[in-house]
Amino acid sequence: MFTLEGKTFVIMGVANKRSIAWGIAQSLDKAGANLIFTYAGQRFEKPVRDLVETLEGKHDLLLPCDVTNDEDVKACFDEIGKRVGKIDGLAHCIAFAKTEELSGNFSDTSREGFLLAHNISSFSLTVVAKHAKPLMTEGGSIVTLTYLGGERVVPNYNIMGVAKASLDMSVRYLANDLGQHNIRVNAISAGPIRTLSAKGVSDFNSVLKEIEERAPLRRNTTQEEVGDTALFLFSHLSRGITGETIHCDSGYHIL
Ligand code: 0WD
């Protein structure tokens, strides 16, 4: 096992212990990294703090950061800069769409729902990268989470699929832009995992069943598998990789 001792990473998007962000936090914690957590709003502070206390390392910097608010994002990264100086990377594990837009006809997507999904699930990566960049003085690695529904049509994923396509392309533009500063930007396309966000997708159980029956590995993806893929992307081992989407989905995407 390699170590991330002495490295600092920002984890954005822990809502509860099922969150993929939490899987990433656990993998990085085991590798000895220092972690900073951001949460969506005040109501998440206590549950996130309670979870963070269960980790092996002592990570006591937790900050609110609503990614729909430019001032909030700036204030959050300014504070991180003041408290730790330099960071080595960040995990962007944030998405949102209205539940009513995650079923039914795609052509019924509302303008408001379209913009909301893109704002939180796609644009947020760009605004976060902008404010994290000055803190990555020795280079860095940015990792976001995407899904197959941004590459091809997946039933009920609807507007979130279109937002993920936008996110995927943002990864490439950001990778090209930030590469000159030795900042890498990559996405992990995770297989379906039962989380709070996934609950919003209509008929999610059939998606899980399909993976178990048909994916090359014949099993569903775990939080830990995604966490370890992120660990690789945050480590020196992946230093030649940027603008990439790694599928951590039991191989389902090849079908
Ligand atoms: O099957 C899955 N669960 C997959 C998820 C498969 C492939 C990809 N993903 C992606 C999601 O699309 C998302 O980008 O992984 C990422 C993390 O999602 P998750 O772990 O599945 O879900 P969850 O635990 O709900 O975390 C998403 C979090 C929010 O949680 P809630 O439940 O409150 O929506 O995104 C954060 C929040 O913590 N979030 C925000 N953070 C800052 N500002 C905001 C916001 N405005 N809105 C949502």
| Annotated binding-site members for NAD(+) | 13, 19-20, 66-67, 94, 164, 193-197
Rounded-to-integer distance, Cα 241 and Cα 203, Å? 35
56: which DSSP letter? S
In a domain, 2, yes or no: no
Confidence of residue 201 (pLDDT cuts 50, 70, 90): confident
Residue 97: other Cβ atoms inside 10 A? 25
Query: How many domains does the chain divide into?
Result: 1
Residues 55-105 pLDDT 10s: 999 999 999 999 999 999 999 999 999 999 999 999 999 999 999 999 999
In a domain, 110, yes or no: yes
Rounded-to-integer distance, Cα 195 and Cα 240, Å? 31
Atom nearest to 20 CA in ligand 1: 20
**Residue partners of 255: CB distance under 8 A and separation at least 6:** 214, 215, 216
In a domain, 255, yes or no: no
Cα four-point dihedral sign 129, 130, 135, 138: positive
What pLDDT does 1 receive?
Answer: 61
What pLDDT does 38 receive?
Answer: 98
What pLDDT does 91 receive?
Answer: 98
Laid out side by side, the sheet with 8-12 consists of 61-64, 34-39, 8-12, 89-92, 140-146, 183-190, 245-248
Q: Which has the closest alpha carbon to 204: 160, 157, 242, 238?
A: 157
Which entry of 39, 147, 173, 252 is annotated as an active-site residue?
Answer: 147
In a domain, 53, yes or no: yes
Bridge pairing between strands 140-146 and 89-92? parallel
The answer to whether residue 199 scores a pLDDT higher than 90 is: no
Ligand 1 binding site (Cβ under 6 Å of any ligand atom): 13, 15, 19-21, 40, 65-68, 93-96, 120, 145-147, 190, 192-193, 195-198
Atom nearest to 67 CA in ligand 1: 43
Q: For residue 49, give its domain range.
A: 8-250
In a domain, 3, yes or no: no
What pLDDT does 2 receive?
Answer: 76
For position 89, which CATH number holds? 3.40.50.720
What pLDDT does 166 receive?
Answer: 98
In a domain, 184, yes or no: yes
How far does the centroid of ligand 1 lie from the alpha carbon of residue 86, in Å?
Answer: 26
In a domain, 101, yes or no: yes
Q: 147 an active-site residue?
A: yes
Q: What is the mean pLDDT of the chain?
A: 96
In a domain, 33, yes or no: yes
Residues 41-56 pLDDT 10s: 889 999 999 999 999 9
Find the range with the poorest average confidence among 118-132, 141-155, 197-211, 233-247: 197-211
Q: 252 an active-site residue?
A: no
